[in-house]
Amino acid sequence: MAALTANTTVQTKALNEIFGGRILKFDVIAADIIYKGALVELGTNGVQPASGDEGTHAIGIAMEKVDNSAGLVGAKQVDVLVGGAFTIAAITNLTDESQLGEAVYTASDNVADLTNVTTNTFVGNVAGYTGGAGNRFIVKMTDHIAVESYTITNITADRTMDCNAAADAEIADVLATLIQDLRDKGIVTGTIA
């Protein structure tokens, strides 16, 4: 699906009475429009429609349309639902109810994906379906806003360490595995090579 060109309806109110969530204000990047209902990512220059740009991470759903197409970074701010839950019409690679609880990543500002490709960022987990005509998927967002980025190379996944005999390489692999796990949960961002 292409990026949004108009506001979209996203159910949040009833879901957030169950799942929580809060609305926070963020600076909007320069020369862009964020539509109501868009998945948004936070980068070094502010919030933008989710696009999978390197160095950004998903933070939530825009609760209003903000046109900063003629403005500089931070000239305007947007209200963003962080945490809580929302509905979305499309989650790529979602096939059936056995995938409840699966991690959801951004694919664009109006499509989520179960596949974590290099540029997709973690947004939450599949929490349910609304059912009926116009079936929509419920996504429970992460309660964390990732703030740091790490670059890790030559990782060998390792979750076991003998603290009395660990070598530097083993300690590095355990630490890198921890960072990778935190990245996959959306707590930190990073590149694993």
Per-residue pLDDT tens over the stretch 69-118: 999 999 999 999 888 888 887 788 887 778 888 888 888 898 888 887 76
Q: Could you give the residue ranges of the DSSP H alpha helices within the chain?
A: 13-19, 168-184
- In this prediction, residues 42-47 reach a mean pLDDT of 85
pLDDT for residue 149: 63
Task: Give the strand pairing for 189-192 and 137-141.
Answer: unpaired
What is the set of domains in the chain, with CATH numbers? 13-141 (2.40.300), 149-192 (no CATH)
Q: What is the pLDDT of residue 35?
A: 96
Detail the DSSP E strand segments found in 114-158.
Answer: 122-129, 137-141, 149-152
pLDDT of residue 64: 95
pLDDT in tens, 23-40: 889 999 999 999 999 999
Q: What is the pLDDT of residue 47?
A: 92
Q: Work out the mean pLDDT of the chain and round it to a whole number.
A: 82
pLDDT score, position 137: 79
Tokens of 53: 């740009």
The burial class, CB within 10 Å (0-12 / 13-18 / 19+), for 99 is: middle
CA 10 to centroid of chain Cα atoms: 16
| Other CB atoms within 10 A of residue 181 CB | 13
More confident residue, 180 or 130: 180
* Dihedral sign of CA atoms 93, 41, 123, 132 in order: negative
Q: According to the model, what pLDDT value does residue 43 have?
A: 80
pLDDT of residue 75: 95
Contact of 105 with 112, CB cutoff 8 Å = yes
- pLDDT value for 32: 94
Residue 127: strand, helix, or coil? strand
Pairing label, strands 112-113, 91-92: parallel
Per-residue pLDDT band at 16 (split at 50, 70, 90): low
pLDDT at 54 exceeding the cut of 70: no
State the Cα–Cα distance between residues 83 and 142, nearest whole angstrom: 5
pLDDT-derived band at 66, boundaries 50, 70, 90: very high
Mean pLDDT of 39-65: 85
